[in-house]
Structure 1
Amino acid sequence: MNSDERTARGGLSLRAVPPNAITALALCFGLTGVRYAISATGTDPHTGDWERAIGAIIVAGVLDGIDGRVARLLKAESRFGAELDSLSDVIAFGVSPAIILYLWSLQQLPRFGWIFALALAVSCALRLARFNARIDIEDQPHKSAGFLTGIPAPAGAGLAFTPLYLWLVTENEWFREPFVVAPWAGLIAFLMISNVATYSWGSIRLRRHIRLEAILLAALIGTALFSDPWITLTAVSAAYLAAIPLSIRSYAKVKRARKLGVQPGQS
């Protein structure tokens, strides 16, 4: 009896508990971000609660990157885990960031601000529904090529907070203006549900002579996240956005090569 059959009969195997517990923990951190945002509203903006709100979403993103790998390591992948993961992602990377941005800025435009917050949350849900239903197969980048369709939910949440990062770095209230935050939230919502090909870990190919440098860069970024997180996250967000045109071009090359029956990298 496989893990899906066990779930259908009303029970989870013991080895399925750790990855699903990590997923549930990610969901809790996502909602905790909302709790800190509520605490920050109407108080001194420099109490640290906005930082904690973002930090909770970042932790949720880290946990989201771990749960699937733990499930594969334990051979505990199941339909239950996939459904729980999607529900957790919608809340942690769709609903929670939308509420945080609304409480931080968009509530200054009560009706229209809420519409942009809704767009962010609903786009996250639509992206995950599309992924689960496996629709638009012909139009989306093929999984075997290592590309994603649109930006993933955790990345979307991180990018949506870019005005908040800049506000924390500069203390310039211009970045908090809803006329800045609303269009930005709308752009990220569009990118999440778009058919734009974006890089995934599987699509990144490092040449042998730069692999040590890549390890060093990853270590330095990790260190910078602890020493100066908001500047680092701003830089990472900018780099991710700058990589989107490159990913579109890379996938176009893969697509052309497949039409010609040539494997990428072959002449």
Structure 2
Amino acid sequence: MQNSSLPTVKSKGIYLLPNLLTTAGLFSGFYAVIASMNGRFEAAAIAIFVAMIFDGLDGRMARLTNTQSAFGAEYDSMADMVSFGMAPALIAYNWALQDIGKIGWLAAFIYCAGAALRLARFNTQVGIADKRYFQGLASPAAAAIVAGSVWVGQDYDIAGKDVSWLFALITAVTGLLMVSNFRYASFKEIDWRGRVNFIVMLLVVAVFVVVSVDPALILCCLFYIYACSGPVMTFRHVDKLKVSDVIGDTDIEDEPQTSQSHSEPRDK
């Protein structure tokens, strides 16, 4: 006779669907590195944007299907470091920065280190930071700036070696923006499940049409504008600019929010 009082063994495993999307994003980032090593820079840049799509889907899917987990959150961060940290840095180096020696790989390293620090800071502030804003440029947006610039260069037959110094500056500054204290809109307060006016849907269609005219140039310009919005937003909301408004540690005084683990879009 079996003893019914024995404790029930909790089943172990990982949720398939959200982690499958995370793996797809990781694969896109890895593919981007391989493509850039083979000189296929346009494909590499597009792969970064594909990784951004999967990164936006995995957290939302976990929330919708109630499959949040600590494993998923950590796996997501590791995948993002590859897709939005290492991959853009290597694409930048292979496309333009290797021709200027140490300055080139140092610019790529600044970007890579900035992405790592940005992800680490984001993970430590989950649940206490103001959800309306990102502190520093989110790593997917930073990756889009680097990848978008390469994509535009390929579309307009611009050789990377001809813009090496400019691109080194762009890469390094993008890395520094990730670890800055500039406030960027997170768009997390938008109610994606709410009702909207029919005109709004027409505007959404119009946006897709405009982007399709020249995806590389338009997407690149949009992310450059977003990168510039952080300093502009910060300068407009402070009476007297201090060093702590730009870089350094800041005290977070917002009320603690519910802890999350892979339950929200983790746009780092």
TM class, shorter-length: 0.7 to 0.9
Amino acid at match of 1:83: E
Deviation at 1:118, TM superposition (A): 1.0
| 1:88 is the counterpart of 2:76 | no
1:90–1:72 distance in 2 versus 1, CA, 3 Å = same
Partner Cα distance (1:176, 1:22) in 2: 37
Q: RCO greater where, 1 or 2, for CA within 8 Å and sep 6 or more?
A: 2
CA shift digits 1:5-62 (9 cap, x unpaired): xxxx78225xx2100110011000101011111111xxxxxxxx22111111110000
**Matched residue, 1:263:** none
**Matched residue, 2:220:** 234
Give SS of 2:38's match: helix
Name the TM-score, length of structure 2 as normaliser. 0.75
Contact 2:182 2:231 in 1 (8 A): no
Contact 2:46 2:151 in 1 (8 A): no
Partner Cα distance (1:179, 1:28) in 2: 30
Deviation at 1:195, TM superposition (A): 1.1
CA shift digits 1:124-182 (9 cap, x unpaired): 111111111229x6xxx622xx1111111110100123432442343234785221111
Name the TM-score, length of structure 1 as normaliser. 0.75
- Of the structure 1 ranges 113-122 and 241-250, higher mean CA displacement relative to structure 2 is found in 241-250
Q: Which runs of 5+ in 1 are unaligned?
A: 1-8, 41-48, 254-258, 260-267
4+ runs of 1 displaced by more than 4 Å? 210-214, 249-253
| 1:72 is the counterpart of 2:63 | yes
Contact 1:37 1:100 in 2 (8 A): yes
Amino acid at match of 1:229: P
Contact 1:30 1:91 in 2 (8 A): yes
Partner Cα distance (1:184, 1:117) in 2: 10
| 1:38 is the counterpart of 2:33 | no
**Matched residue, 2:176:** 190
Contact 1:197 1:251 in 2 (8 A): no
Give SS of 1:201's match: coil
Q: Work out the percentage of aligned pairs sharing the same amino acid.
A: 30
Structural mapping, 1:45-124, within 5 Å: 49-124=40-115
1:78–1:241 distance in 2 versus 1, CA, 3 Å = same
1:211–1:109 distance in 2 versus 1, CA, 3 Å = farther
**Matched residue, 2:27:** 28
Partner Cα distance (1:160, 1:57) in 2: 9
Deviation at 1:244, TM superposition (A): 2.5
Deviation at 1:203, TM superposition (A): 5.2
Partner Cα distance (2:119, 2:21) in 1: 19
Question: CA-atom RMSD, angstroms?
Answer: 2.9
| 1:127 is the counterpart of 2:127 | no
Contact 2:148 2:217 in 1 (8 A): no
Deviation at 1:240, TM superposition (A): 1.4
Contact 1:20 1:81 in 2 (8 A): yes
**Matched residue, 1:142:** 130
Amino acid at match of 1:201: F
Q: Which runs of 5+ in 2 are unaligned?
A: 1-9, 240-252, 254-268
